[in-house]
Chain A
C-alpha cells in the first residue's frame, strides 16, 4: 500500500507493506537518528513526534501515519542544539543511544506544559529509559532547558 506523510517538513510518499511499523519505514527512507531498543514500546528510545506528540515508532503501524506530520530530531535542530548543549554540559549524554528519543520527548513537553514542577517533568518523561546516566544529569539539563525562552 501507499501512504503519504510529512517528515520534518517535507512531503513523503512511500510504498509499505500493510503490517509495517513506522520505525522500519523511517529507517528505510534513511532516517538514522531513530533507534530501537525494546520492541515492546517500553523504553522510549524509538520516540518520534506525530503531530507534535511523542509516540513509540517501533510499535506504531506506519499506515496510521498516513496524512500526519512526523518529526524526528533532524526536524527540530534549533531546539536540539540548545537542549543537546545543556545535556552535554551536564555530562548527561553518555552512550547517546537514548538521547534523540529523549530529547524529542523533552521538546514536546516544553511545548505542551507550562512551568511543570519536578514531579510533572518526571511523569512526562517516565517512558524514556536511560541505563547509563542515573537520570539526575538529564533532569538538571531539562530544568535549565525549561527556563530557556521559547
Chain B
C-alpha cells in the first residue's frame, strides 16, 4: 500500500487555517438579504392571529413569511434515505407552535438591524395550550402535539400522533422467561441520558439565490445535500430540477446538520424577492431551535448463568423526539441494534419501546445515533452483573463478547427503520482491543486496589462498543473519475466532507487503486448539479460506502486507461498494464506514459474523454469495534471528577489515513466525555431552555482533557476499500459507561443518569456515608 494507511495532510487544511473564504456565510454575495426568524415564546400554542403589516412597512424590509403565505406541504426535515423512516410532521410554518423556539415568522431585510426591528413589530395572538414537557408522561397526555390531519408515516413505524407517539417497535428472539430461569444472576437497572447539543462551531447557515437560468441555488452547511434537495423540493412545491444544493466547507456537523435548518426560509425569500438571502443562526438559536440528542430512559435486564455466560438481555427504551419526529424511530432502534450484538451468545434477546413527542427542542441525529445511549445502559449493567457474579468485568466481557467469524441474530432482525441484514464478522479484533486497552491503561493493577491519596480517590473502568459502516441496502454513494490531459484526474463525489477529511481520504483510495500519487487527484464534492449522488455524511458511511464507490470507479478508470493504451500500442487489452506512471505491454516490450497517452487522447489520437462512474450500496455494514478505559480521580470534598487518562483501542479495519482516523476517535471521545461529565441540559417549568450558551452549557475545554491514549488494532475488512471500515462515530460510544464504571470503582457509587456532575457525586457520597452510619 503506497497511498493508503498513510497520513497525508488534508488537501484543504492549510487553506482553512489561513481563513480563506470557504463557509456558507463567507460565500454570500454582499447584497444578500439578512433573514431573521421570529420564534415561539411558548412551548405549545395555537396562533389565533398574526399581523405583519407594520413589519412589512418598515424601511429595508423586503419579505415577511408566515404560515399564511408559504406553501403548506408536510415533510420531515431529517436527511435520510427514501422513503423516509421519520414521520412527515413539519410544515415550513404552521398555525401551531410546538416548542419554545419553533418558527412563527421570518423577515428578510437589507440589514440585520432592520430585520431585528421588524421582528418586534410582528404582532401575534396566541392561544396558549398545555405543553407536554415530561416525556415520561407524554403518551396519552391530554395535549396532542400533532393534531394536524396531514401528519403521516411513509411506511409502518408505529406512528400514533393522537397518542403523542412518533414511533414504536419491538423485537425478540428466544424464550426470555426460560432463559432468565436458567440464570443464576440477573440484574435490572434503569438509565437516563440527556439532550446533548452538537455545538458545531459554525452555526447552521443557509444562503439561497436564483441563478441566471432562473434556478434556485441553496448553499448550506448541510451534511446531506442530496436529501436537502429532495426535501426542499417537496416542502417548497418546486420541481426538483429547479433546485441545486451546494455544500461548501462546513464548520462541524456531528449529525446536527443532517437535517434542514433554515433552507426553506432562505429559498422562499430568494424566490419571492429575486435577491440572495442568508440566514445565520445565532448560538442561542442553535441551542434552542436546531437539534439535540434524543434523551432516553432505558431499562436493561441482563441474566447470566453460574459460569458467567450471558443468557438473556432485555432492553426497553422510552425516547424523546421533542416537537418533531426527526430520526425518531432510527435513533431509538440503533440503541439496540448497535449494542446488543456485542453479546451475541445470549439465547434470548428482546428490544422494544416507544418514541414520544414532547414540546421541547426537536431531537435528531447525533454522532453515535442511539448507540451511545444504549451503550451507557448495557455496559454499566455488565459491570454490575460482573460484580454480582464475582468475576472481573473485563474477563466477563471477553468471555461473552462477539468474535471474528461470528454473527448475531440481531443483525438480521434490526436495521434502521426496517429489517436488517445477516452478516458474519469478517474483521473483529475486539479481543485484541480489550487485551491491549487493559495493558495500556494498567487495568489489572489499578482496578483491584483502593487508590486514595488524601481527599482524592482514583478509579478505573471500561466498556466495549461497536458501530456500523453505513446503512446496508439503503444508502448509496457514488463517484465520477475523469482523466485530464497531462495525466491527472478529477474525482467528483457526492460525499460530504464536514471537516473529517473525507475529500482527502477518498482521493487516497482513488490514488491507491490507480497506483498514482494522491497529488494527481483533484477533488470536488457535494454539489447536486456537478457531483453524482451520495446519501451524505452520516451513519459512519463515508469511508466504507463512498470509499467503495471510489474504489469501483478507480478500477474502471484503470481498465479504460489500459484499453486506450493497448489500442495506441497495438496490443490486446489484456496485454497492457498501468503501473501508475506508464502503461506497459506485459512483456515490457513497449510502453506509453499516462501523460503522453492522455494528452494524445484529447488532442491528437482517436480523441475521446475517459470518464467513469462507480456507485456502491453496501449489502452489509461491518462494525468498527473498540475498547475504552477511563481512569478518573474524584475529590471527595468537592465531588469534582478529573479525567486522568482515557485509553481507546479501535478496530476500524485499515486506517486509510491514520492521523485523520486518530482525530476522529479523539474528537469522538471528547464529545462522549462531555456528555458524561459536563453537558447538562436545564429547562424552566415552562419549557424554556436555560443552558442556551457556552457559559451555561459546558463543553469540554482543553483543560478537562488531561490525556487520551489511542491505538488502532491491525485489522483488514475484506469488503472495505483497501481493507477499511468507517471510524466517524465509534469513538463517542464508550465514555458514559466507562466513566460511570470508573466512578463506581473509585467510590462505590453507581450513577445511572447523565451527566454525572460534582453535585451528584457529592450528594451521593454524603448519602452513602449517612447510610453507613
Chain B residues lying within 8 Å of A128, measured Cβ to Cβ, are 702
Structural contact, A96 and B22, CB atoms closer than 8 A: yes
Which of B199, B252, B694, B708 meets A94, CB within 8 Å?
Answer: B252
A108 interface residue per 8 A CB criterion: no
Chain B residues lying within 8 Å of A135, measured Cβ to Cβ, are 666, 670, 700, 702, 705
B214 interface residue per 8 A CB criterion: no
Chain B residues lying within 8 Å of A89, measured Cβ to Cβ, are 7, 9, 659
Structural contact, A38 and B19, CB atoms closer than 8 A: no
B131 interface residue per 8 A CB criterion: no
Contact with A along B17-29 (1 / 0, CB 8 A): 1111111001000
B308 interface residue per 8 A CB criterion: no
A112 interface residue per 8 A CB criterion: no
Nearest-Cβ distance from residue A144 to partner chain B, whole angstroms: 13
Cα of A88 to Cα of B660 in the assembled complex, Å: 10
B284, closest chain A residue (CB): A39
Structural contact, B499 and A95, CB atoms closer than 8 A: yes
B10 interface residue per 8 A CB criterion: yes
B705, closest chain A residue (CB): A135
A50 interface residue per 8 A CB criterion: no
Place the interface of chain A in its size category. Answer: 35 or more
CB neighbors of B among A96-111 (8 A): 96-100, 103
B709, closest chain A residue (CB): A136
CB neighbors of A among B472-497 (8 A): none
Given contacts A33-B18, A74-B18, A135-B702, contact A40 B694 (CB under 8 A): yes
B253, closest chain A residue (CB): A95
Nearest-Cβ distance from residue A84 to partner chain B, whole angstroms: 4
Which of B26, B253, B663, B693 meets A91, CB within 8 Å?
Answer: B663
A138 interface residue per 8 A CB criterion: yes
B254 interface residue per 8 A CB criterion: yes
CB neighbors of A among B11-51 (8 A): 12-14, 16-23, 26
B659, closest chain A residue (CB): A91
Nearest-Cβ distance from residue B84 to partner chain A, whole angstroms: 27
A95, closest chain B residue (CB): B499
B16, closest chain A residue (CB): A96
B455 interface residue per 8 A CB criterion: no
A137 interface residue per 8 A CB criterion: yes
Structural contact, B666 and A134, CB atoms closer than 8 A: yes
Chain B residues lying within 8 Å of A97, measured Cβ to Cβ, are 23, 200-202, 251-252, 499
Among A97, A125, A133, A134, which residue has the most Cβ atoms of chain B within 10 A? Answer: A134
B695 interface residue per 8 A CB criterion: yes
A51 interface residue per 8 A CB criterion: no
Which of A33, A95, A138 meets B252, CB within 8 Å?
Answer: A95
Nearest-Cβ distance from residue B646 to partner chain A, whole angstroms: 10
A122 interface residue per 8 A CB criterion: yes
Report the count of interface residues on B (CB-CB < 8 A). Answer: 56
Cα of A126 to Cα of B708 in the assembled complex, Å: 17
Chain A residues lying within 8 Å of B198, measured Cβ to Cβ, are 131
Contact with B along A19-61 (1 / 0, CB 8 A): 0000000000000111101111011010000000000000000
Chain A residues lying within 8 Å of B745, measured Cβ to Cβ, are none
B250, closest chain A residue (CB): A95
Among A87, A122, A135, which residue has the most Cβ atoms of chain B within 10 A? Answer: A135
Which of A74, A81, A134 meets B670, CB within 8 Å?
Answer: A134
Given contacts A94-B500, A131-B254, contact A38 B694 (CB under 8 A): yes
Structural contact, A94 and B662, CB atoms closer than 8 A: no
Cα of A95 to Cα of B198 in the assembled complex, Å: 14
Give the secondary structure class of A's interface: loop
Cα of A95 to Cα of B7 in the assembled complex, Å: 17
Cα of A134 to Cα of B732 in the assembled complex, Å: 11
B701, closest chain A residue (CB): A126
Which of A38, A45, A88 meets B17, CB within 8 Å?
Answer: A88
Structural contact, A84 and B13, CB atoms closer than 8 A: yes
A96, closest chain B residue (CB): B16
B275 interface residue per 8 A CB criterion: no
Chain A residues lying within 8 Å of B200, measured Cβ to Cβ, are 95, 97, 131
A77 interface residue per 8 A CB criterion: yes
Cα of A100 to Cα of B701 in the assembled complex, Å: 17
Nearest-Cβ distance from residue B664 to partner chain A, whole angstroms: 9
Structural contact, B20 and A131, CB atoms closer than 8 A: no
A92 interface residue per 8 A CB criterion: yes
Cα of A96 to Cα of B498 in the assembled complex, Å: 10
Structural contact, B501 and A33, CB atoms closer than 8 A: no
A65 interface residue per 8 A CB criterion: no
CB neighbors of A among B484-526 (8 A): 498-501
A16 interface residue per 8 A CB criterion: no
Structural contact, B699 and A73, CB atoms closer than 8 A: no
Which of A33, A83, A122, A134 meets B667, CB within 8 Å?
Answer: A134
If A95-B250, A103-B17 are given as contacts, then 5 extra A-B residue pairs at C-beta distance below 8 Å, sorted by A number, are: A32-B19, A37-B202, A38-B694, A135-B705, A139-B702
Instruction: Mark A residues whose CB is within 8 Å of B.
Output: 32-35, 37-40, 42-43, 45, 72-74, 77, 80-81, 83-85, 87-100, 103, 122-123, 125-139
Listed A/B pairs (18) with beta-carbon separation below 8 Å:
A37-B202, A37-B203, A42-B693, A43-B201, A74-B19, A80-B18, A81-B14, A91-B9, A94-B499, A94-B501, A96-B13, A97-B23, A97-B251, A99-B17, A125-B702, A132-B667, A134-B669, A135-B705
Instruction: Mark B residues whose CB is within 8 Å of A.
Output: 7, 9-10, 12-14, 16-23, 26, 198-203, 249-254, 282-284, 498-501, 657, 659-660, 662-663, 665-671, 693-695, 699-703, 705, 708
Q: Enumerate the 10 nearest inter-chain pairs by beta-carbon distance, A residue then B residue, closest first.
A: A33-B19, A95-B499, A96-B16, A97-B251, A134-B666, A42-B694, A84-B17, A88-B13, A91-B659, A100-B19
